[in-house]
Amino acid sequence: MKTLKLTLIPLLAATLVSCKKEAKTNESPKDSLTVKKDSLIVPEVYKEYYGVYTGDFAGMEKIIDEADGSEYENSIMKRISIKINRITSDSVYGQSIVNGNQRPFRGIFNESSKSFVLDEPGDDNTDGRFEIKLSGDSLAGKWTAFNKAAVKAPVKTLKLTKKEFVYNPNFMLDENSDLVDWSNPKDFVQKYTDEETGKTESYTTSMNRIASDAIFKLNASKQKLTEKDLKNLRKLDLEIIKNAVFARHGYSFKKETYRYFFEQTDWYIPVSNNVDQELSPMEKENVALLNRFIKYAEDKYDSFGR
């Protein structure tokens, strides 16, 4: 009987080892990765600071006069959005959005001074470091370029306010908006005839595109547009009506013309450089129709002082 017990013990041990090996073999790679991933999760903190802060991004750029080579400074003003996505005990994650350029950043948050130090990746000439302080719902501070020689204004100040981005199909340009495209002047040759001498002379004048009141009447996010709605509109009208769709979804425009028009509103908050997936089926159809008309439309120009 003792011999039988001694024989069963090693057999039982071998069986248990075999079962453990089989269980380990049957464990899916996904389950193993999940365990490892979960074990590395760092808890988030200060969630009340998450969100989009948007406002002025100002600096001084150096200008060289082509005529005499003299150098002077000129102030520049842009709009920037800082989006705080996640804060942990050791890192801050988010992105900066300006002029249609969206850059990720990572940094640290000091709770005692309510200050952030946020670094963009550094693999683009426009990257730099944000040093900003939080005060209530506002952020203020500066940005310094990593490569100061590569940008016109290597140091800029920020004054931002926290705003909740909300898509609203009813958003429109304010009827007091400036309807002039100041960014793309075009030279035209004009003729002038002196009444006394009868002599005609030619001269070149710069003119700017202007939009019409149609941009306050057509909303491509709310109504199905028809060819009849668009056939007599100016090219700039069509462009604004089309891009208002993207502005409502928080698109950050690279083109200065569109930024200028929508930054005149209090609802435009740039939050992304790609909102194509956010458009409704009707908006996509309207954008396609507007693109067809934009291709062949003409503009109206006028001369303005500035």
Summarize pLDDT for 7-23 with one digit per residue, the tens: 444 544 444 444 444 44
Assess whether pLDDT exceeds 80 at residue 271. Answer: yes
The CATH number of residue 132's host domain is 2.40.128.120
State yes or no: pLDDT of 42 exceeds 90: no
> Same domain, yes or no, for 143 and 191?
no
Identify the pLDDT of residue 71: 78
- Supply the pLDDT for residue 304: 67
Regarding whether 260 and 209 lie in a shared domain, the answer is yes
The per-residue pLDDT for range 202-256, each reduced to its tens digit, is 888 899 999 999 999 999 999 999 999 999 999 999 999 999 999 999 999 999 9
Average pLDDT estimate for 106-131: 96
Q: What is the pLDDT of residue 66?
A: 72
Q: Phi/psi at 232 (nearest 5 deg)?
A: -110, 15
Domain co-membership, 193 together with 83: no
Q: Please give the residue range of the domain that contains residue 92.
A: 47-163
134 touches 31 (CB < 8 A): no
121 occurs within a structural domain: yes
Whether the per-residue pLDDT at 74 is higher than 70: the answer is yes
- 138 domain residue, yes or no: yes
- Tokens 């802060």, residue? 53
Per DSSP, what are the bridge partners of residue 204? Answer: 189
Counting other chains too, the contacts that 222-227 makes at CB distance below 8 Å and 24 or more residues apart are 222/169, 222/170, 224/282, 224/285, 224/286, 225/286, 225/289, 225/290, 227/289, 227/293
46: burial class by Cβ within 10 Å (0-12, 13-18, 19+)? middle
Residue 49's nearest CA partner among 122, 112, 136 is 136
147 and 75 housed in the same domain: yes
Label the pairing between strands 101-110 and 92-98.
Answer: antiparallel
Report if residue 27 sits inside a domain: no
| Least trusted range by pLDDT, from 59-73, 91-105, 269-283 | 59-73
